[in-house]
């Protein structure tokens, strides 16, 4: 998924309600987000990770991977061997 297609509708794992997540609304400052290319790379790594739960959520951080991959200050929380690093 590219950042251009930033709205996702997913079912909440706790209550079963469909929730729309608009990544544009999450980033209040574009200087905080990574480039489209880096976002795609990070998201691809997350989608291939054995710690991905429900196709949306990181087992280690509890965050939606589409959210975590978006921010420069975030890094992969995979224990011992992060799949991608924080961008300075």
Looking at the chain, how many residues does it have?
88
For residue 28, the model assigns a pLDDT of 67
Scanning the structure block, which residue is given the tokens 């961008």? 87
Alpha carbons 14 and 47: distance in angstroms, whole number: 21
DSSP annotation of 33 reads B
Q: What is the pLDDT of residue 37?
A: 94
**Cβ 38 vs Cβ 7: under 8 Å:** no
Per-residue pLDDT of the chain (88 residues; tens, 9 = 90+): 444 455 566 666 666 666 666 666 666 677 888 998 999 999 999 999 999 998 889 999 999 898 899 999 999 999 999 999 998 7
Question: For the chain, where are the E strands, in sequence order?
Answer: 7-11, 18-22, 52-53, 57-58
């Amino acid at each position: 998924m590219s950042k251009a297609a930033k709205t996702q509708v997913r079912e909440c794992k706790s209550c079963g309600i469909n929730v729309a997540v608009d990544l544009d609304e999450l980033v209040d400052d574009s200087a905080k987000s990574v480039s489209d290319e880096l976002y795609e790379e990070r998201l691809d790594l997350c989608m291939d990770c054995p710690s991905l739960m429900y196709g949306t959520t990181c087992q280690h951080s509890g965050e939606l991977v589409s959210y975590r991959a978006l921010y420069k200050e975030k890094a992969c929380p995979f224990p011992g061997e992060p799949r991608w690093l924080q961008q300075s």
